[in-house]
Amino acid sequence: MVVYAILVFVTLQRLAELILARRNTLHLKAHGAIEHAPGHYPFMVLLHSGWLIGLWWFAPGQALQPFWLLLFFVMQAGRIWVLATLGPRWTTRIITVPGEILVSKGPYRLIRHPNYVVVVVEIAALPLAFGLPVFAAVFSLLNALILVIRIRTENAALQKLRV
C-alpha cells in the first residue's frame, strides 16, 4: 500500500509540475521569452513518462529500501527550493527572457543547475528505493544523455544573457 501511495504522490507531483511549467512557459513567451533547442523536449517527456510508467509496472510488490526513499524525499525539499527560487521563471523547457538577469539566490548561489541535481538523484533514488537497480541504471544513463544536450544548450543560452 505504501508503494502505491508513493507512486500516486510522484504522479500527481509530475502532473502538477507540467501544469505549472506550461503556465509559466506561456507567460514567459508572451513577454518575449525565447525557447532554446525545443527539438529535444519530446525525448525528455518520453524519458520521464517511461520512468514513471516503469515504476508503476515494476515497483508494486517490491520491498522498500529506507535509505533511498529518504534520499528521494530529501530531494523533494530541493525541488521545492528550486521552484520557490525561480517562481514564474521555472519551466521544464529551456527558456530565456532577453534583458533578464540570471537568478543567483537560493540554491543557485551554491550550484549552477540545482534542478538537474535533484532530477539526477530522483531518477536513481526512487527505483533504488523499490529495489530496482537495473531500472535505476538504465534511466540514469538515458537521463544523462538528455542532460548533456540540455546543459550545453542552457549554458550557451545563459551565456548570451551575461553579455
In tens, the pLDDT along 132-161 reads: 999 999 999 999 999 999 999 999 988 877
Q: Where are the domains of the chain?
A: 2-162
pLDDT of residue 153: 93
Buried b (16+ CB within 10 A) or exposed e, 19-37: eeeeebbeebeeeebeebe
pTM of the model: 0.92
% of residues, the chain, pLDDT over 90: 89
**Which residues are within 8 A (CB) of 96 and not within 5 positions of it... i.e. 6 or more apart?**
33, 34, 36, 157, 158, 160, 161
Q: What is the pLDDT along the chain (163 residues), one digit of tens a residue?
A: 999 999 999 999 999 999 999 999 999 999 999 999 999 999 999 999 999 999 999 999 999 999 999 999 999 999 999 999 999 999 999 999 888 888 999 999 999 999 999 999 999 999 999 999 999 999 999 999 999 999 999 999 888 776 4
Tell me the percentage of the chain whose pLDDT exceeds 70: 99
Q: Of 125, 116, 98, which is closest to residue 31 (Cα–Cα)?
A: 98
Query: What does the pLDDT read at residue 162?
Result: 61
E strands present in the chain: 34-35, 95-96
CATH node for 2-162: 1.20.120.1630
